[in-house]
Amino acid sequence: MHHGKTGSKLGRTSSHKEAMLRNMVTSVIKHERIRTTDMKAKELRKLADKMITLGKRGTLHARRQALAVVRDEDMVSKLFGELTERFREREGGYTRIVKTGYRFGDNAPVSILEFIPDEKKKEKAKPKAKAKPKAKEKTAE
């Protein structure tokens, strides 16, 4: 019976799946965007959101828990610094999955998993340059 089991096996052993997801979450933190298959993206989203939540806690214990998964001190400091500030006011849903099509070799569905852009930067970037005034028409007399 499959009671109480969450997540997909992804066709791997548990140790391989764990190592793969650790590497992928490190890459997502580093590049803030990753291109992968739909199922891997759905599994990775859970782990990436948990890492942001640990970063928002900001305690020493949370930092050690994040280091147990990410294992790259530079990425953990980025997680607890830059990314935490970006998502300080957000109550979850830090990532999004955008479906992009199918992979050439095996026709597997492919997606992009990325962090939600900063809302403050979005608001500041809204006012655009004023449109050029139309040239005055020559009046025929």
pLDDT single digits (tens) 40-61: 999 999 999 999 999 999 999 9
Contact 38, 102 (CB under 8 A): no
* Banded pLDDT at 94 (limits 50, 70, 90): very high
Residue 125 within a domain: no
Ramachandran angles phi, psi of 114, nearest 5° = -145, 155
- How many domains does the chain fold into? 1
Angstrom distance (rounded) from CA 91 to CA 82: 17
pLDDT at 85: 93
Angstrom distance (rounded) from CA 78 to CA 28: 11
Residue 70 within a domain: yes
Angstrom distance (rounded) from CA 17 to CA 3: 20
pLDDT at 5: 86
- What's the length of the chain? 141
Torsion of CA 47, 52, 57, 58, to 10 degrees: 110
pLDDT at 118: 80
For the chain, the maximum distance between any two Cα atoms, rounded to a whole number of angstroms, is: 91
Residue 141 burial class via C-beta count within 10 angstroms: exposed 0-12, middle 13-18, buried 19 and up: exposed
CATH of the domain at 30: 3.90.1030.10
Residue 97 within a domain: yes
Q: In which domain, by residue range, is 61 found? A: 14-120
